[in-house]
């Protein structure tokens, strides 16, 4: 059985973070392991508080997994501080790494900051060079690339910027653009590909970014190439949104039990 390791924060409402990642791995038939970077106090309405784990504990969680098992993919999600970023980079450095998918989580849907401002450059400097793929949404891509994204050509330019910053491949997620379709831009350093699906009118969108990146990591753990894994991940997320269980009074979770 293939193994995927998620390095991310815990979501008490179960819709995002470690919980979403593990559910997604399970849906793909991949055995999930985890290194918890933070415990959040949140529900579908908002994030109320965050307690970071000690960086040394996070690093030891990662190290002990690699020391005992053969990891086929790594997904990195919420890492809010410079010290956590450095600890993760140190635990992953000098290894023969499997595909690493980095989701640069910066802010919750309710507006709670999940990545400290001073940690943005550290994220790019320490973790981008370790990443096979980075998966920012439009807001995150703008902050990382340093320019406004208003059209498809800007998304392509941002994808190139992610490669220049050290990643090997990039997905710029365009779901926040106005319009009837959710268009993502994929770039592997040579070739661009667009993925487009009709938008679904729903409030059940909590954890979409976490779910996409963990689905992408699971696909790569199973041996899929970048473009195929991203295509399947987007289809999975679209079905998970369409069949969302309608939990909570705010932005509810997806249905991670759909078939990838």
pLDDT bracket for residue 110 (50, 70, 90): low
Q: Annotated catalytic residue: which of 17, 77, 175, 207?
A: 207
CA distance 61 to 27: 24
- For the question of residue 64 being annotated catalytic, the response is no
Q: Annotated catalytic residue: which of 17, 173, 211, 252?
A: 173
The answer, yes or no, to whether residue 180 has pLDDT greater than 90, is no
Q: What is the mean pLDDT of residues 26-53?
A: 95
With 0-12 / 13-18 / 19 or more C-beta atoms within 10 angstroms meaning exposed / middle / buried, residue 112 is middle
Q: Annotated catalytic residue: which of 208, 211, 238, 252?
A: 208
Q: Annotated catalytic residue: which of 210, 219, 234, 238?
A: 210
**Res 118: pLDDT:** 78
pLDDT bracket for residue 114 (50, 70, 90): low
**Res 105: pLDDT:** 84
**Res 108: pLDDT:** 66
Contacts of 134 (CB under 8 A, 6+ apart): 101, 102, 103, 104, 128, 162, 167, 169, 170, 171
Q: What is the pLDDT of residues 66-109, one digit of tens each?
A: 999 999 999 999 998 999 999 999 999 989 999 999 999 877 66
Q: Rounded to 5 degrees, what angle do the CA atoms 215, 60, 34 make? A: 20
Helix (H) and strand (E) counts in the chain: 8, 9
Q: Annotated catalytic residue: which of 44, 205, 211, 238?
A: 205
Q: What is the mean pLDDT of residues 135-143?
A: 93
- For the question of residue 259 being annotated catalytic, the response is no
**Res 113: pLDDT:** 63
Largest CA distance in the chain: 47
**Res 119: pLDDT:** 80
**Res 120: pLDDT:** 84
Read off the pTM.
Answer: 0.96
**Res 179: pLDDT:** 75
Mean pLDDT is lowest, of 8-17, 122-131, 172-181, 207-216, for: 172-181
Contact 237, 125 (CB under 8 A): no
- For the question of residue 210 being annotated catalytic, the response is yes
**Res 109: pLDDT:** 63
- For the question of residue 205 being annotated catalytic, the response is yes
């Amino acid at each position: 059985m293939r193994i995927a390791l998620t390095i991310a924060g815990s979501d008490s409402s179960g819709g995002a973070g470690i919980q979403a990642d593990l559910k997604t791995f399970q849906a793909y038939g991949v055995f999930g392991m985890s290194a918890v970077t933070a415990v959040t106090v949140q529900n579908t309405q908002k994030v109320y508080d965050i307690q970071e784990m000690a960086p040394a504990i996070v690093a030891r969680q990662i190290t002990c997994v690699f020391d005992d098992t053969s990891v086929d993919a790594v997904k990195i999600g919420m890492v809010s501080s410079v010290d956590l970023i450095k600890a993760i980079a140190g635990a992953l450095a000098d290894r023969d790494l499997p595909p690493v998918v980095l989701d640069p989580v910066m802010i919750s849907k309710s507006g709670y900051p999940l990545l400290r401002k001073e940690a943005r450059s550290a994220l790019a400097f320490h973790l981008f060079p370790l990443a096979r793929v980075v998966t920012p949404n439009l807001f995150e891509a703008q902050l990382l690339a340093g320019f406004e994204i208003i059209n498809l050509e800007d998304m392509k330019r941002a994808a190139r910027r992610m490669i220049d910053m050290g990643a090997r491949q990039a997905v710029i997620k365009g779901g926040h653009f106005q319009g009837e379709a959710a268009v993502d831009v994929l770039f592997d350093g040579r070739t661009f590909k667009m993925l487009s699906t009709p938008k679904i009118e729903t409030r059940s969108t909590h954890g979409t970014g976490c779910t996409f990146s963990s689905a992408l990591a699971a696909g790569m753990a199973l041996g899929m190439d970048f473009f195929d894994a991203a295509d399947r991940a987007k289809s999975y997320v679209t079905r998970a949104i369409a069949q969302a269980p309608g939990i909570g009074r705010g932005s509810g979770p997806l249905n991670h039990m759909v078939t990838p």
